[in-house]
C-alpha cells in the first residue's frame, strides 16, 4: 500500500510539473482570442483582460513563463512569427515594450512584460 501511495505521489508530481506554461518556439502558435489573424504562443494561459477604452476595441491578457525579460523584450522568434502571419511592425511607433503591428487596416498592440503579455486590437479612430 505504501509503495502504491509513493508511486501515485511521484506520478502526480511529474504530471503537475509538466503542465507549466512556459514559452518555447517548438510548441507553436495559435490564433488570439480577439483576432483570428494574430498569433499567440499555443501554450499561453489566458487571464482576465484589461478593460477596453476609446483607443482599444478588444483586449486579451496571457500568462506565459519566459515570454519577456525584465525590460519586456519579446522573444525574437515570436516577432518573426507575427510577421509570418502577415503583420508589419510599425517600428517608428514602438514605445518601450509596446509594439504595434498593422495588417489590412487593423492595428494590434503587443505589450510584453516578464511572464505576462497583453494583445490589444486598436480602435480604427486611433491616430498613431
For residue 118, the cross-strand partners are 61, 111
Across 70-90, average pLDDT: 93
Is the pLDDT at 14 greater than 60? The verdict is no
Give me the residue spans of the domains in the chain. Answer: 2-122
Tell me the pLDDT tens digit for each residue of 35-58.
999 999 999 999 987 777 788 899
Edge-first strand listing for the sheet containing 56-63? 45-47, 56-63, 116-122, 106-113, 98-103, 88-89
Amino acid at each position: 500500500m505504501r509503495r502504491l501511495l509513493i508511486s501515485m505521489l511521484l506520478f502526480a508530481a511529474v504530471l503537475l510539473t509538466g503542465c507549466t506554461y512556459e514559452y518555447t518556439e517548438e510548441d507553436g502558435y495559435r490564433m488570439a482570442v480577439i483576432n483570428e489573424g494574430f498569433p499567440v504562443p499555443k501554450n499561453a494561459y489566458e487571464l482576465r483582460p484589461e478593460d477596453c477604452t476609446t483607443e482599444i476595441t478588444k483586449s486579451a491578457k496571457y500568462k506565459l513563463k519566459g515570454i519577456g525579460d525584465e525590460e519586456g523584450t519579446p522573444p525574437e522568434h515570436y516577432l518573426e512569427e507575427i510577421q509570418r502571419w502577415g503583420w508589419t511592425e510599425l517600428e517608428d511607433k514602438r514605445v518601450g515594450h509596446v509594439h504595434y503591428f498593422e495588417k489590412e487596416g487593423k492595428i494590434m498592440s503587443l505589450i510584453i512584460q516578464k511572464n505576462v503579455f497583453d494583445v490589444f486590437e486598436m480602435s480604427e479612430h486611433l491616430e498613431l
